[in-house]
Amino acid sequence: MPITLTRLDPTGMDHDDLVDFMTRNEFGFHVRPRLTREEVEAAIARGAYRDEDNDSCWVEHTELGRIGFLRFEDLSEGTPLFDLRLDTPLRGRGLAADVLRAATDHVFTTMDTHRFEGQTREDNIAMRKTFLRCGWLKEAHYREAWPVGGGAPVASVAYAILRRDWETGRTTPLLWEDLTL
């Protein structure tokens, strides 16, 4: 596995690098595609990068160095979620699949949970294909649930992987229309 997740210290030694990463990249499929220094610093101060629900890592690649940022979310809820952001010049090379595999290994080897979840916009095809490539299953398609500034809302699509699927390498199928009239 070429990926290492390195826990970052948002209020200490990693503060300036975190602000730099979040402000110099654009995140077109997030609710806020452009972040200002003030917004990132306010998020750091309220614990959005590290508190009882959130923990953040740099994503390090054996050959490419630091390639992005990963945050585990909802950590006190029993089923963690994640937010993955690659540095712009390193997108488009399929690197997210190894990152998602490393994140899944981390969750199931260090946390007492049997599910790991992720959500993205319906038009974030790169992220959705990454979920599929890693054996995650689509579990929900929330129509018009994702607000888009200046445009019509799009769907939010939810994926998950079960611990037993991670253990066996086989995705447990879901019968979508399990009840009919």
Told to check if 122 binds ligand COA by CB under 6 A, we report no
**Region 41-60 residues binding ligand COA, contact defined as CB under 6 A:** none
**Cβ nearer to ligand COA, comparing 18 with 86:** 86
Among 32, 129, 141, 143, binds ligand COA (CB under 6 A): 129
**Cβ nearer to ligand COA, comparing 22 with 44:** 22
Sheet holding 55-61, edge to edge: 3-7, 55-61, 65-73, 81-86
Phi-psi region of 65 (alpha: psi -120 to 50; beta: other; left: phi over 0): left
Token pair 């080897």 is found at 109
**What per-residue string of b and e applies to 156-175 under the rule 16 or more CB within 10 Å gives b?**
bbbbbbbbebbeeeeeeeee
Told to check if 94 binds ligand COA by CB under 6 A, we report yes
- Tell me how far apart the alpha carbons of residues 4 and 56 are, in angstroms, rounded to a whole number: 13
Per-residue x/- mask for ligand COA, residues 72 to 91, rule CB under 6 A? -----------xxxx----x
Binding site for ligand COA (CB under 6 A): 27, 29, 83-86, 91-96, 118, 120, 124-127, 129-130, 133
